[in-house]
Amino acid sequence: MTRRIALRPLARILEARRTGENPDEIERENLRLRHEQMRDKLRLRAESRLLMLACCFCAAFLAVGVKMTALATSVPEEPSINTSHSSITSTRADIVDREGRVLATNLVTNALYVHPHELIDPEAAAAGLADIFDDLDEETLLRRFRSGSRFMWVRGSISPEQQQRVHDLGEPGLLFGPREMRLYPNGAVASHVMGGARFGEQAVNAAEILGVAGVEAEFDEDLRDPARNGAPLELSLDLTVQAAVEEVLAGGMGLMQAQGASAVLMDAHTGEVISLASLPDFDPNARPAALTEGDPSQSPLFNRAVQGVYELGSTYKLFTIAQALEDGLVTPTTMIDTRGPLRMAGFEIGDFHNYGNSLSVRDVMVRSSNIGTARIAQMIGPERQQEFLGALGLLDPIDFEMIESRQGRPIVPSNWGQLSTMTISFGHGISATQLHLASAYASLLNGGTRVRPTLLRRDDPQQGERLISEETSRILRAMVRDVVADPIGTANLGEVPGYEVGGKTGSADKPNPQGGYYDDRVIATFASVFPAHDPRYVLVVTLDEPSIDILGETRRTAGWTAVPVAAEVIRRVAPLLGLRPQDVDHEATYQLSSASQ
């Protein structure tokens, strides 16, 4: 604080009075000076405040600017606090069966690669590697090490033991890259459904896994989708049932000296495929190469149940009779003329046995009369037959969750005339896959609504469109039951006490690639449902070229080959599915109640 100067200093006033000046001027002068001083001070303060404010603004803008520059020049980085939920460790989701048992998973292994220029002792390294990996040749390795390249792969995936042995070589030029390997712990079980996988794009520290067949290929995108967050793909298969089916089938195939065997076990209401087996099979962990020549259907990779398009023989009689019953053309007791042979357009239709002059519709089915079925088909006519088989889905490739299913395109006659109608009625001149047959049987016998097969687990029955009435379905169920239960039925070896098996056999001569049909090679099929009064499951078993010597005769028909195998499958599998055998009393009650309805 500056000392305040008095406005009228006495000394100057007295001085002024003496010289005759006006002392008021002194006062005014001083006042002016004082005001000027005050103004200067205020301005100075205001200026300093402005400066202060400007500094603050500058500092603030500078801070913002620095932060912005830092953000702009640094690598963007996710807030680490948000990544705490990323739990994906593998890039491809697991596949599990309906009980959650692992069918396919990933294992972290290592790929082995070499930087040849970093090798200290290439000879020793080549010798060591040749010693660890049997199929590597020391000479070749050494030549490649010296070819001047700076990088080479040795192995796509190696086991931990092998990795340790490579470590023990102590070569700085041998390097490992992490790899995820697709593992099928169950080996050949369900191999056709699984398909297999291979490495796609490879880099040093990762490799893409691509599905090559089966569900791996069908759901390839889906399994690799990061949005799954590791949730496994749940299939409808049951691993235990699948293993049991394959075991029984392999036994039956050996016993019947068959070329191949396949089976489809399907839930009759939900359409879930519980088991899908095709023999011979393969190990998806080491998927064999596809055949480059010859018949692809001879390869173990060939899925007979889904890709194999065969004439399925008399199993088609069910469709003919179902349609005739539904349209009211016949009743189970209507007598059909079965005098043979039946000649039509230069073609002769005969029966395996002579069944006399006539059979009831039920007996046409039970004893499998071709002539009888052809006569019923004549009543139906080509257009309506075509329409009905189309509605059952037997004329188009099946929409199924395996890429192979698109190859299972049914073969239908180009000219669907009266003769075709008659041969198709007992399953000749038309070909489809076993899966087609299984879904058609499920659709007709489950109460009459269409069922489409699926490999994905689902809980509720399918609400498919109605194909035949409940009542027709019930009659058909009684008929297929009689095919097995009646001692003269073609599938009388298929009886499994307690499980009321019902079904229809089919034996079709194999077509000769040179034209015509073989005399001694058949495809034997048994399409069955159990329990017949309220079908839960549909089982279709097919044997390729079976033959067995029983009672001094070589038997090839399905009744002697596919039926006993199917019966054994049901005996093994039904308890695993939790089906309790129905006691005899219960069965009698059922027949009474169904008769009174």
Q: How far, in Å, are 189, 211, 405, 440, 454 from residue 284 at the CA level?
A: 9, 11, 18, 30, 21
* Closer of 182 and 450 to another protein (Cβ): 182
Output 55 or 152, the one with its CB closest to another protein. 55
- Name, in order, each residue with C-beta under 8 angstroms of 199's C-beta and a sequence gap of 6 or more: 156, 179, 207, 208, 209, 210
Collapse the DSSP code of 230 into the 3-class scheme (helix H, G, I; strand E, B; otherwise coil) and give the result.
Answer: coil
Q: Which of 276, 380, 574, 587 binds another protein (CB under 8 A)?
A: 574
Mask 24-63, x = binds another protein (CB under 8 A)? ----------------------------------------
Supply the minimum distance, in Å, between the C-beta of residue 498 and another protein.
5
Residue (175 or 579) nearer to another protein, CB? 579
Judged by CB, which is closer to another protein: 12, or 536?
Answer: 536
Map residue 241 onto helix, strand or coil.
Answer: helix
**In the stretch 441-480, what mask flags binding to another protein with x, by CB under 8 A?**
----------------------------------------
Instruction: Find the shortest distance in angstroms from Cβ 27 to another protein.
Output: 35
Please, which residue, 408 or 503, has the CB nearer to another protein?
Answer: 503
Is residue 537 at the binding interface for another protein, with CB under 8 A as the rule?
Answer: no
Amino acid letter, residue 61: F
Contact code string over 171-190 relative to another protein, x by CB under 8 A:
------------x-xxxxx-
Q: How far apart are CA 112 and CA 150, in angstroms?
A: 14
Chain centroid to Cα 30, Å, comes to: 105
- Name the one range near another protein by CB under 8 A: 337-345, 409-417, 436-444, 497-505: 497-505
Residue 415 interacting with another protein (CB under 8 A):
no
Q: For the chain, what percentages of helix, strand and coil (3-state, to nearest 5) are there? A: 40, 20, 35
Among 252, 372, 498, 506, contact with another protein (rule: CB under 8 A): 498
- CB 84 → another protein: shortest distance, Å? 6
Taking CB under 8 A as the criterion, the residue among 26, 169, 217, 243 binding another protein is 243
Least distance (Å) between residue 186 CB and another protein: 5
The stretch among 66-74, 321-329, 387-395, 493-501 that binds another protein (CB under 8 A) is: 493-501
H-helix or E-strand containing 13? Answer: helix 10-19
* Residue 206 found at the interface with another protein (CB under 8 A): no
CB of 102 to another protein, least distance (A): 4
- Nearest one of 583, 459, 468 to 531, comparing CA atoms: 583
Please give the Cα distance from 263 to 438 (Å, whole number).
10
What phi and psi values does residue 262 have, to the nearest 5 degrees?
-150, 155
Q: Considering only residues 239, 359, 435, 567, which one is a binding residue for another protein as defined by CB under 8 A?
A: 239
The answer for residues whose C-beta is within 8 angstroms of residue 437's C-beta and 6 or more apart is 264, 312, 315, 525, 527, 540
Nearer to another protein (CB atom), residue 65 or residue 185:
185
**Token pair for 555:** 């038997």
DSSP assignment of 52-89: HHHHHHHHHHHHHHHHHHHHHHSPP---GGGGGG----
Q: Which residues contact 308 (CB under 8 A, 6 or more apart)?
A: 262, 278, 297, 302, 408, 433, 434, 542
Stretch that binds another protein, among 140-148, 243-251, 453-461, 538-546 (CB under 8 A): 243-251
Residue closer to another protein, measured from CB, 281 or 351:
281
Smallest gap from Cβ 564 to another protein, in A, equals 16
- 3-state DSSP call for residue 276? strand
CA distance 538 to 529: 4
Q: How far is CA 433 from the centre of its chain?
A: 18
CB of 571 to another protein, least distance (A): 7
Site stretch for another protein (CB under 8 A), options 8-16, 443-451, 477-485, 576-584: 576-584
Question: Does the protein bind another protein through residue 521 (CB under 8 A)?
Answer: no
Spatial separation of the C-alpha atoms in residues 264 and 392, rounded to whole Å: 17
70 burial level (CB within 10 Å; 0-12, 13-18, 19+): exposed
Minimum CB distance to another protein smaller for 475 or for 574: 574
Site membership for another protein, residue 250 (CB under 8 A): no
Contact between 579 and another protein per CB under 8 A: yes
> Between residue 76 and residue 115, which ones bind another protein under the rule CB under 8 A?
80-81, 83-84, 87, 89-90, 101-102, 105-108
Single out the residue of 150, 155, 145 nearest to residue 121, CA to CA.
145
Which residue, 172, 52, 62, 180, is CA-closest to 124?
Answer: 172
Q: Does 514 bind another protein (CB under 8 A)?
A: no
Taking CB under 8 A as the rule, does residue 207 contact another protein? no
Residues that bind another protein (CB under 8 A): 80-81, 83-84, 87, 89-90, 101-102, 105-108, 183, 185-189, 239-240, 243-244, 247, 496-499, 536, 571-572, 574-581, 586
